[in-house]
Chains A and B, each alone.
Chain A
Amino acid sequence: MQNHKTICARIMRLAGRCRTEVIITSADSALTRFANNVISQNVSNTSTDISVRLMDRGRMTRFSLNQFSEVALKTAFAAALASLKTQKKDPLLLPFSSSVPISASKNLFFPGTAALPPDERAARISLLIKKCKKSGATAYGTYENGAVATTVANNIGVNAFYKESYAVYGVTVRDKDGFGWAEELASDATQIDFARVDRIAMEKARLSRNPRTIKPGRYTVILEPAAAADLMFYLGIYGFGAQFCQEGQSFVAGRLGEKVMSSEITIEDNALDGPSAGMPFDYEGQPRKKVTLIDRGVARAIVHDRKTAALARTTTTGHALPMPNTSGPIPMNLSLAKGSTSMDEMIKSTKKGILITNFHYSNLLKPLTVEITGMTRNGTFMIENGRVTYPVKNMRFTESAVDAFNMVESVGDKPETYLSWGRVSSPALKIRGFNFSSATEF
């Protein structure tokens, strides 16, 4: 991984008096993919991306590159400075921020995880494949690991650096016409319970053989954490960003302080601690603050960058994406507070309902209600009189995530964290009257 300090120093020297912001992202990543009980892809990548924003009296431009020789940087600077001179002045352009103290977040870098070699990944996968072959099942999935380092700096004092490692082990198992899935994410690969992931995916696949067709319609559903996190992701993107609110596109626009969801629901964005912790600063170099977005069903806050905060006459919460952008601030460390209901209790208390492992290919239909459509996948089961009775064929849901979170009856006691756009953590949710609009053939 390249030395960010050296690259920054070189850029700031070339910048001279021109106001300059630098974002450097280095990544070492590796991924072993398996399918049909063999390794099908096995890759490794080393990269460093440098993005430089220049500002001069209300004018702004950005360039990016991955080569940082003196020649490459000088050429890019010369072109950018020429481009800068031709820009129109933007009276609303915010100057760069000066230095702001950044709190330390929890350590998420583990060298052993960052450097996990391909033979170790292969050895781990071989254990699953042996089990699958023995039971007549087929394994698919990935085991990936790596490390990402980020620097955000400018030449008026901001200089923030962060590094984290990650490992994700995700398994899909096919057992005849049954499918099962499980996944675990960790900053330290030794914390992944591989055997548990294998067991859940294989068990779900076995139990979901010979699925039956049921009629689409409204059902009570128990969303396992991955399915619940999928809905959370859309709420995060389209609900809690200040720009979407200021444009009137968000369901919380003008409703802060009002009850907008079930009182079972509390959602926060917290990069500093908790299950979705991550980089403690944003792409303006501002500290990411813990923000309670929904407190027992009441909309409490949204996330800001410096631009939306200035418009709202408040302060940034530290949720900027690289500037300039058209999306505005986004919460990237979302978590839904756990409840006290176990999965067994959720099932036992359900007279008739559907247990959903995961959703597939979800997509937004209407931003104001966060209406989403998508498919169930990798284990969908009927619940009758407090028991899982049989697997059902996959169905398409068409439902407002806001309405669904208003119909939450109980919240699970074991949250799980997934990578999407940032991290999303959610426990299982039991929801009444969830709408399925059609079925499929498997």
Chain B
Amino acid sequence: MFGFAKKAIEIADKHNADFADIRIIETRRQTLNVKNGELGALNDSVTLGFGVRVLFNGAWGFASSDVIASREVERVTRLALDIAKASSTLKNKKARLAPEPAYQDFWQTPFITDPFSITAEKKLDLLFAVDKILRKDSRIRSAVSGMNFIREHQWHMTTEGSRIEQVLLSSGAGYLALAVDKDSAQVRSYPSTHGGQTLSMGYELIDSLDLVENAERVRCEALALLSAPPCPSGAKDLIISGNQLALQIHESVGHASELDRVLGYEESYAGSSFATIEKLGKFRYASPIVNLVADATLPGGLATAGYDDDAVKAQRWHIVKNGILSGYMTNREFAGRIGQNRSRGSCRADGHNNIPITRICNLSLMPGTISASDLIKDTKDGIIMENNKSWSIDQKRLNFQFGCEIGWLVKNGKKTTMVKNPTYQGITPEFWNSCDAIADENSWRLWGVANCGKGQPPQTAMMCHGNSPSRFRKVKIGVKSSD
């Protein structure tokens, strides 16, 4: 493939481009779903294509195609050059890339079992077994279980001399049961919502999830929610973990720390960020026990790779250190704007047909010191919320509201009544500064976000957010549309 890629580099060099790269990507996906006893999806997909990015006279152009032919790579590279020339008519100052050594390397996601070597029959047998348990009660009106596997083979070549080949693998699985009665529709999911748990692993992830073993509990909890009292309104100590805390990290710290947003380059769509650059190193984002670390080297992380799509080597760095804003997600174009002489390597594209943009890396809340059980024992008047159901945050990443599938009240150190439709609202720095306890490493887990949308045209990216159960003091809960 590098032979094919070379053509684009030669054309860009011939035209004296400041920088150019070509990414050729072959993606294999398999999606399987079972819904209410029927096959919901069984799709095997293979795509191949390339994207050429050109920086010319300090301005960007990008073009892509799925026609793998010498004449097409010429056309696409010349188109990218023309687009860059059009961009350069409306620029302020020339875009410059932070320096990075050239690499010739191969990197691959470690795995034990190739998920594509497991037959569809075996995978579907597991999903049908789960489905059967979920639908043992007629009040379960919808049961959906599924698996997803993606293998992305990348060949990345730059005018700076990098030739990087990577094979990134992810596996995911999960299910939900929807219980409906006259007044309510309640859902429970396992292991998490939004498609289940996805990590950069092989089929061993699926084997580790105990999908069948948890199905009965999930069904029973969905049914119990129908008659559970609603989440009370007021201020309570909130304990969250799992994919809810992952999404809290994602929305209120991850996106807020993307440097392109901070600098205004996402204003027209997803918005900007309150975490502006004059706050770097000074702003108390969270209580001193909070450490949030970005890490592209994290085993199992969905953003883990040898290199990002700027050809920058994977790194680990603090976004929030002892509660203080300490870093951003950066690409090579914007790193210099905050005085960094090297990008953190957080620039990624969705497939071959999108331009790389600044992305959230794996971003995890470091474990604390208290055990998860003592965290509950130590809480007098609180609520535990589990599994994200809805999310919304404002365009500067300040005011947020989350809804979860299920809640349990905590009274004098004991988990008590189950409640339905739990929600909470907050303002990002106030919320993170109210964090007064984080459970230790024994309950720390990695949670995948496999559907992060950003950019125009829209792109999807994947990343992980590790966390252990954490407590936030006096949070506004039980937000209602009507009294």
Instruction: Spell out A's residues near B (CB within 8 Å).
Output: 29, 31-49, 51, 60-67, 72, 76, 79-80, 83, 86-88, 90, 92-93, 117-119, 121-122, 125-126, 129, 138, 140-142, 144, 170-172, 174, 247-249, 324-326, 360-369, 371, 373-375, 377, 394, 396, 398-400, 403, 435, 437-442
Contact = CB atoms under 8 A, between A and B. Distances in A.
A45 B38 CA distance: 36
A256 to B, nearest CB: 17
Nearest to A60: B39
Contacts of B482: 400, 403, 435
Nearest to B399: A440
B449 to A, nearest CB: 15
Interface string B331-362: 00000000000000000000001110100000
Given A400-B481, A438-B425, A83 B457 contact: no
10 contacts: A36-B263, A43-B457, A47-B66, A67-B68, A118-B83, A172-B268, A324-B33, A363-B392, A365-B403, A377-B395
A280 to B, nearest CB: 25
B373 to A, nearest CB: 31
A249 B409 CA distance: 27
A41 B66 contact: no
B66 A67 contact: yes
A398 B141 CA distance: 27
A69 B222 CA distance: 48
Given A41-B60, A437-B425, A437-B481, 20 more contacts: A36-B92, A36-B265, A39-B90, A41-B455, A42-B84, A43-B83, A49-B47, A51-B43, A64-B47, A67-B48, A72-B46, A87-B124, A118-B82, A142-B456, A172-B267, A326-B35, A360-B395, A364-B390, A365-B481, A394-B399
B268 A435 contact: no
Interface in B375-427: 389-396, 398-399, 401, 403, 421, 423, 425, 427
B40 A326 contact: yes
Contacts of B104: none
B268 A33 contact: yes
A118 B86 contact: yes
Contacts of A369: 481
A5 to B, nearest CB: 18
B83 A170 contact: no
B383 to A, nearest CB: 17
Contacts of B39: 60, 87, 90, 93, 324
Contacts of A360: 271, 394-395
A247 B180 contact: yes
B399 A375 contact: yes
Contacts of B119: 86
Given A400-B481, A437-B479, A365 B423 contact: yes
Interface residues of B, number: 87
B66 A83 contact: no
Nearest to A27: B353
Given A35-B265, A66-B47, A129-B90, A365 B425 contact: no
Contacts of A33: 268, 456
Nearest to B89: A122
Contacts of A76: 44, 46
A45 B64 contact: yes
Interface in B26-82: 33, 35, 38-49, 59-68, 76, 79-80, 82
Most A C-beta atoms less than 10 A away, residue of B82, B265, B354:
B265
Given A118-B83, A437-B479, A248 B144 contact: no
A63 B48 contact: no
Contacts of A119: 82, 85-86, 89
Given A119-B86, A247-B178, A438-B425, A140 B268 contact: yes
Given A248-B180, A396-B399, A46 B65 contact: yes
A370 B180 CA distance: 15
Contacts of A371: 481
B184 interface: yes
B398 A441 contact: yes
B121 A86 contact: yes
Contacts of A40: 60, 265
Contact of A38 (B92, B141, B267, B394): B92
A62 B41 CA distance: 8
Which 10 pairs between the two chains have the least Cβ-Cβ distance? A118-B86, A440-B399, A140-B268, A248-B180, A64-B45, A86-B121, A140-B267, A39-B87, A122-B86, A43-B62
Nearest to B403: A365
A43 to B, nearest CB: 4
Contacts of A38: 90-92
Given A43-B354, A174-B267, A326-B35, A368 B185 contact: yes
A365 B45 contact: no
A98 to B, nearest CB: 23
- The binding surface of chain A is classed by DSSP as strand
A249 B180 contact: yes
A62 B40 CA distance: 11
A39 B91 contact: yes
Interface centre among A38, A45, A371 (most CB of B within 10 A): A45
Given A62-B43, A364-B390, A399-B481, A46 B67 contact: yes
Contacts of A171: 268
A332 to B, nearest CB: 17
A437 B62 contact: no
Contacts of A361: 392-395
A440 B168 CA distance: 40
B184 A396 contact: no
A73 to B, nearest CB: 11
B174 to A, nearest CB: 13
Contact of A83 (B44, B90, B399): B44
Contacts of A326: 33, 35, 40-41, 144
A44 B392 contact: no
B42 A61 contact: yes
Contact of B48 (A35, A37, A66): A66
Nearest to B80: A44
B234 interface: no
B399 A438 contact: yes
B264 A325 contact: no
B142 interface: yes
A41 B62 contact: yes
A247 B142 contact: yes
A247 B349 CA distance: 38
A214 to B, nearest CB: 14
A396 B393 CA distance: 9
A375 B68 contact: no
Contacts of A126: 89-90
A34 B82 CA distance: 17
A248 B66 contact: no
A137 to B, nearest CB: 12
A373 B87 contact: no
B359 to A, nearest CB: 14
Interface in B359-373: none
B351 to A, nearest CB: 10
B355 A440 contact: no
B401 A396 contact: yes
A39 B86 contact: yes
A51 B29 CA distance: 13
Contacts of B66: 46-48, 66-67
A61 to B, nearest CB: 5
Contacts of A441: 274, 396, 398-399, 427
Q: Which of A42, A63, A360 gathers the greatest number of chain B CB atoms within 10 Å?
A: A42
B168 to A, nearest CB: 19
A33 B178 CA distance: 41
Contacts of B392: 361-363, 373-375, 396
Interface string B117-130: 00111001000100
Nearest to A141: B268
Given A31-B456, A86-B119, A42 B394 contact: no
B60 A398 contact: no
Nearest to B142: A247
